[in-house]
Structure 1
C-alpha cells in the first residue's frame, strides 16, 4: 500500500533527524568539555551543530505531526464523541475534519506568503536559506490536508467504516488493534 510506504519513509526521516541531532549535540558537548581540559579539537566545538540541530528539530516536529495525523493520534474530545452514535458521530467527525482542513489551508497560505521573505534570509552559521526551516509548513499542511481530505471524501460518499468511527471516538487505538479494554 503506497500510504504505508509513505508513512514508513516519514518515520525513517524522523529517526534520521533524531539520530543526527543527538550525535551533533553530544559531539559538540564532548568537544567543549575536552577544551575545558586543554584538549581543543575542531576549535572546541562544531559551530554548525547547534543551528543544524535546531533546523532538524523543526522538521522532526512538523513531519511528526503528519505521521501522528495518519495514525489518528492527535488530541480529541473522546469523552464527548464516545457518547455519540450513528449520524451524530459522523457529523462530529466531519465537522472536526473540516476545521482541521481550514487550519491546513491557513498554514499553507501563510507559509506561501512568507516563502519569498525566507528564501532570501540566510541562516547565520550554516548559510542555508531560511525557507529550509519555514518550508516545513508546506509539508505539514499538505500532508495533514491530504489525510483529512481523504476522510472527508469517505464521509461524503458514505464509505467511512465503523472501525474509523470507533477510532475517531477513541474506542480503538488504531485500525488494526482490538477495542480498548479487550483482553485475549
Structure 2
C-alpha cells in the first residue's frame, strides 16, 4: 500500500517536473524575445523560473531517491559480505532519516519565519519557496523508512542491498 502511494506520487511529481520545466523554458525564452525584440519583459518571469527550478530540483531528488538513482560508490560494499552490506545499509538509512529530520526542522523554521514575507515580483508568501525542504524531508523520509523496514524484515533482495545504480553514461569518455 505504501509502495503504491509512493510510486503514484513519484509519477505525479514527474509530470509536475515536466510541466514546470516547460513553463521555465517558455518564460525565459519569452522574456528574452520581449527584452531584445520589444524592449519590455514579463516582471515575474525571472523570479517564477527560479522558484520552479528549486521545486524541480527537490521533486527530482524525491523521484531519484525512490528509484535509487542518486550517484554513489560501492567500492567498500563490493568487498564485504552480505551481513556487512546489511549493517552498512541500515546505518546509512538511519543517518539519512536523521538528516531528513534536521532538514524538516530547518525548513519548518524557515517556512514559519518567511510566511509573512512576500517575494519581490510575484508578491506571494516566501513560505512557499521554503516549503520545498518540507516536501523533500517528508517524502524522502517516507521512502527511506520504507526501505529501512524492508531491510529489517528481510524483504530486500541482495541486488537491492548495493543501493547504487550503475551509471549508463561515462562522464569523461571510456577509460579502456
Structure 1-normalised TM-score?
0.84
Measure how far apart 1:76 and its partner are: 2.0
Q: 2:10·2:63 contact (CA, 8 Å) conserved in 1?
A: yes
CA distance in 1, matches of 2:166, 2:72: 12
Pairing partner for 1:11 from 8, 14, 22: 14
Other-structure match for 1:179: none
Evaluate the alpha carbon distance shift between residue 64 and residue 170 of structure 1 in structure 2; reply closer, same or farther with a 3 A threshold. closer
Are 1:94 and 2:90 counterparts?
yes
- Displacement over 4 Å in runs of 4+: 169-173
Q: 1:82·1:171 contact (CA, 8 Å) conserved in 2?
A: no
CA distance in 2, matches of 1:63, 1:142: 12
Measure how far apart 1:31 and its partner are: 0.5
Other-structure match for 1:157: 153
Other-structure match for 1:119: 115
Measure how far apart 1:170 and its partner are: 4.2
Other-structure match for 1:22: 25
Q: 1:14·1:64 contact (CA, 8 Å) conserved in 2?
A: yes
Which has more radius of gyration? 1
Measure how far apart 1:149 and its partner are: 0.5
Q: 1:59·1:136 contact (CA, 8 Å) conserved in 2?
A: yes
Structure 1, 17-26 or 148-157: larger mean CA deviation = 148-157
Q: 1:21·1:53 contact (CA, 8 Å) conserved in 2?
A: yes
Structure 2-normalised TM-score?
0.87
Gaps in structure 1 of 5+ consecutive residues: 174-184
Measure how far apart 1:77 and its partner are: 2.3
Other-structure match for 1:176: none
